[in-house]
Structure 1
Amino acid sequence: MKKIERGMAFVDEKMDIFKCPVCGESFEKIVGRSVNCLKGHQFDFSKKGTLYFLKHGVKSDYDDAKMWQARRSVLRAGLFKPIIDEITDQLPKNKSLRIVDAGCGEGSTLKYVEEQRANKQDAYVGFDISKRAINLATQDEGAGFFCIADLAQLPFASASFDVILDMFSPSAYEEFDRILKSEGFLFKIIPNENYLIELRHMLYKKNDSHYSYSNDKVLSLFKKHYPHANVKKITYEFSLSNTSFENLLYMTPLHWGAAAEKIDAALEKGLEKITIDVLLLTIENN
């Protein structure tokens, strides 16, 4: 089955997941290679089987082919495996789930969750504002459906997902609350102060604002919305033996503000391992 046919089949079978980002109405039917809402707004499937839901163009530093390729290499080597394993361990084992990855990037997280939950008949949706990332995500032969969408105005129906994954991405909590089912799960990952600290200290001087990191503002905002959330610290060292230090360097925005000579020096020196230090924030929608 071609990618466009696979994408169209997913939307046709699970049309109740979606809503029109223009008028808010439900999707009604697929005509030709487009899906129409009840008021006639039309969205065309790309050759890769994706849908473009943005109502206006978006410029983003994240729409960088080299960064996404580097990120795929490091994630496929297992950079976040212990984190995702912790998440999948918490998911119900006895029923099929509808799972959405908010800010899914090039799709590695969603693909790994699918592999961990083989034969569960789950439905997987990933969205991002980066067209390059979404196009890369479609290169996998997984079951996931991918689209380009605005976090602040999601093209999904209310109470349409059992699980929301948010790995290091921005959040729109009102929208998350709207699309999450009763008894559904929201998992948000945020970095701690020692996340990638070796790389941070290689690229910046002590008096630079990027030399250290605090998640106080992000954590406070999350707790404001979800005061009873579960907070779990996950810390480990990751060996770079199955990928390259260069990929690690270019997968993260840390290199954006670094001086060229610092980047060159870091590439020459390299690292054998890196610290992963995050918080897993979990809420169950009761």
Structure 2
Amino acid sequence: MDASKLKWIYLGLLSLIWGSSFILIDQAMNTLNSIQVGALRIVITAIFIFSVGLKKVKLIQRHQWKWIFFTAMTGSLFPIFLFAIAQEQLDSSVASMLNSLTPLHTVVFGVLFFGVIVTKRQVFGVLIGLAGALVLVFAGADFNPSQNYWFSIFILLATIGYGLNVNMVKRYLNDLNALAIVTGNFIIIVIPGLLILTYTGFFGEIMNNTEMQIAMGYVAILSLFGTAIAKVIYNRLVQISSPVFASSVTYTMPVVAIGWGLIFGERLSVYQVLGGAIILTGVYLVNKKKKEAVA
């Protein structure tokens, strides 16, 4: 198939997969607690990644393992748990909109710690995005008083981790095979994930609890598609299009997530939708490239 058509198919698949990940977390947490969801997601994803990526580990040089560790913490371990904890109180659609802060934090930490040069427009975009997050949070607190919107802080921390992770990969691991990076990350975090899952009593209950088995199915789908397969699709999308086009998935994910949320009975106020739109406007300004001069 022609690349110009295939890239739109990949974009649609990523939007569907990543946009659906939030409702999968939400459904799994009807039975499992947030720590079990996070730990189980790590373990299942590790099993899948190891089955295809262990041979790539030999590509990691000794001096790179330090950055493999840091990217494992900021890009995988902490965000996986932070999103699950946040969704104890927040609807999946709200979590998806707050996740759109990731590109903004990528720019902020790129400037602060990695020498990235930004334009005034990008700075303006970051400020608009943060304003949108505040609108989303405070509007939600009024519209859904039964939910604790202070849990938005956990998503904020997760997106900070994602922002740091992207910059570290670009600066220190850019020449390393992508599958090797992911496999190395999960080699580091799978044992903590397994120990945490064991400590929660998961293995002692799962065999005799049908509801837990169903919840595990949701996490398995999330792990295989939302974490592992989606990374492969995303890398391929970048190859056949451009990073700018690939990043547009940030705009389409919340649409899918909101749709799933409405199907499962979540409610959003007009002001929350407005807050989400403001965040995406900020993300657009941050990622917008200058037009080339016409000769």
Bigger strand share: 1
**Do they superpose with TM above 0.5?**
no
Tell me which of the two structures has the higher relative contact order, counting C-alpha pairs closer than 8 angstroms and 6 or more residues apart. 2
Higher helix fraction (1 or 2)? 2
TM-score (norm. length: structure 2): 0.25
- Structure 1 length as normaliser, TM-score? 0.26
